Amino acid sequence: MAKKAKTIFVCQECGNESPTWMGQCICGAWNSMVEEKIVPADSKEDSRRRTTEAAKPTKLAEVGTRDYKRIDTGIDELNRVLGGGLVKGSLVLISGEPGIGKSTIIIQTAANIARSGQRVLYVSGEESDEQIKMRADRVCGQIPDNLFVLPETNLENVEIACDNIKPAFLIIDSIQTLYSDELDSAPGSVSQVRACGNKLMKIGKTGNIPIFIVAHVTKSGDLAGPKTVEHLVDCVLNFAGERDQELRILRSFKNRFGTTSEIGAFMMEEGGLAEVRDISGTFLENKTDGAEGSITAAIYEGSRPVMFEVQALVSAANVGFARRTAVGADNTRLSMLLAVLEKKAGLKLLNQDVYVNIVGGLKPEGTSIDLAVALAIYSSYKGKAADNKTLVIGEIGLTGDVRAVRFADKIIKEAARMGYERVIMPASNAKNLKDIPANCTVIGVKNLTEAIKMF
């Protein structure tokens, strides 16, 4: 006999349950009530039988490991961010601002996988099949036979379509447009997104179908809906970039099948997204030689070094407090570096506005760009340009000491490849280097004062 579901509303802040929706919960939170369906539990006898049959723990030592079967997406940069391809049965959330290129990368992936002979189902709640076709004509070339589209927003219909087509790869564009019949709330609401996320997981895991789920997020990344499915999915990828620039960076924030430090770089072109193979070259393309406040820095992202330009501008503040603004770098870290520069290098920055910019839209994580940021500020303050064949890496401590960074030897190799002749780096890294490229000089520095002398 079908069980009757009951609707309740649960506060996301305190967990309080109520039979009706309330604008303000008793805990004081506003708009925190989310619709939920309660399905009565099985009879006691049922559940006892289930417990004895299914709940048999396995010895961890006896659990076999297996190689995850991965599907080649035909896009190396995407494969890399996924940890070596798309794992069968995995759920991947692709988030990004509207218009950044999520549908584009997805249709390109869909066409590549379909071309390899596997069935792909592209469900779009945002565009009609003609619109999808028009984009595919532009970016995919010859459209493969195995690529199916379904303009649909109802999840139960998507389930039926999956049963009919049995796709090897499913795409949902986007989760905010999808709704399940089981809930009365509107598509995009927290309860719908959560319910649809759960159902999609079931479809993916039972059918061993990898699923790409598109989620729109705002610039601050704080749209409540998609956050609620982040814990469900296996990978969370973020697609970012400035809309007026062509460069797009794909980064993974969560990956159950690989590292989260990999990035993928793309250019949005006339014919869709093109992979960027020489990432350092692209970032340094427009660097002006001999400009004050400009320093080349590098980080090690996942499995490769990436070089880019750090710019700083120091100028006299007009009134009141001096401004400190960082684009692409961490503001708190900038404040710390300014304090160290004042105290250890004697720079008078109290009445100076300081702006720092990581050119190209990259947001490097970690602290290995500290020394480059500090030297860029010093260069602008002193009006002294850096030598354009010098690369700077190193973390700065509160005492002004320059600390080791990871993978310095790989960064040097990349510097040599890019034609850089000098690398200023932490002394602790310099003494451990195994092979230094012939055309590269390594300058090891122990603290900020030494680095400034070498500058």
Residues lying near ligand TYD in the complex (CB under 6 A): 96, 98-104, 135, 138-139, 268, 270-272
3-state secondary structure of 297: strand
Please choose which of ligand TYD, Mg ion, none residue 135 contacts, taking the beta carbon within 5 to 8 angstroms, the exact cut-off set by kind. ligand TYD
Q: Kindly state the smallest distance separating residue 280's Cβ from ligand TYD, in Å.
A: 24
Closest CA to 138 of 271, 266, 275: 271
Q: What type of residue sits at position 371?
A: L
Q: Kindly state the smallest distance separating residue 131's Cβ from ligand TYD, in Å.
A: 9
Give the CA angle between residues 243, 296, 77 to the nearest 5°: 50
Touching Mg ion, residues 347-386 (CB under 5 A): none
Please choose which of Mg ion, ligand TYD, none residue 50 contacts, taking the beta carbon within 5 to 8 angstroms, the exact cut-off set by kind. none
**Token representation of residue 78:** 């995407």
Please choose which of Mg ion, ligand TYD, none residue 272 contacts, taking the beta carbon within 5 to 8 angstroms, the exact cut-off set by kind. ligand TYD
Please choose which of ligand TYD, Mg ion, none residue 452 contacts, taking the beta carbon within 5 to 8 angstroms, the exact cut-off set by kind. none
**Rounded distance between C-alpha atoms, residue 439 and residue 403, angstroms:** 25
Q: Kindly state the smallest distance separating residue 361's Cβ from ligand TYD, in Å.
A: 15
Strand partners, 216: 96
**Rounded distance between C-alpha atoms, residue 75 and residue 273, angstroms:** 10
Please choose which of ligand TYD, Mg ion, none residue 268 contacts, taking the beta carbon within 5 to 8 angstroms, the exact cut-off set by kind. ligand TYD
3-state secondary structure of 237: strand
Q: Kindly state the smallest distance separating residue 413's Cβ from ligand TYD, in Å.
A: 34
3-state secondary structure of 314: strand
**Rounded distance between C-alpha atoms, residue 226 and residue 222, angstroms:** 9
Q: Kindly state the smallest distance separating residue 114's Cβ from ligand TYD, in Å.
A: 17
Please choose which of Mg ion, ligand TYD, none residue 271 contacts, taking the beta carbon within 5 to 8 angstroms, the exact cut-off set by kind. ligand TYD
SS3 content of the chain, % helix, strand, coil (to 5): 30, 30, 40
Q: Kindly state the smallest distance separating residue 98's Cβ from ligand TYD, in Å.
A: 5
Comparing CB distances to ligand TYD, the nearer of 95 and 192 is: 95
* CB 282, CB 360: distance < 8 Å: yes
The residue count of the chain comes to: 455
Q: Kindly state the smallest distance separating residue 129's Cβ from Mg ion, in Å.
A: 14
Please choose which of Mg ion, ligand TYD, none residue 191 contacts, taking the beta carbon within 5 to 8 angstroms, the exact cut-off set by kind. none
**Rounded distance between C-alpha atoms, residue 447 and residue 343, angstroms:** 13
**Rounded distance between C-alpha atoms, residue 251 and residue 71, angstroms:** 19
* Interaction between residue 429 and Mg ion (CB under 5 A): no
Please choose which of ligand TYD, Mg ion, none residue 98 contacts, taking the beta carbon within 5 to 8 angstroms, the exact cut-off set by kind. ligand TYD
Comparing CB distances to ligand TYD, the nearer of 101 and 293 is: 101
Q: Kindly state the smallest distance separating residue 242's Cβ from Mg ion, in Å.
A: 18
* CB 44, CB 23: distance < 8 Å: no
In the bound state, the residue with its beta carbon closest to Mg ion is 103
Pattern 83-112, binding to Mg ion, x per CB under 5 A? --------------------x---------
**Rounded distance between C-alpha atoms, residue 183 and residue 420, angstroms:** 60
Residue ranges of the alpha helices (H) in 218-307?
224-227, 279-284
**Token representation of residue 437:** 């490229």
* Residues binding Mg ion (CB under 5 A): 103
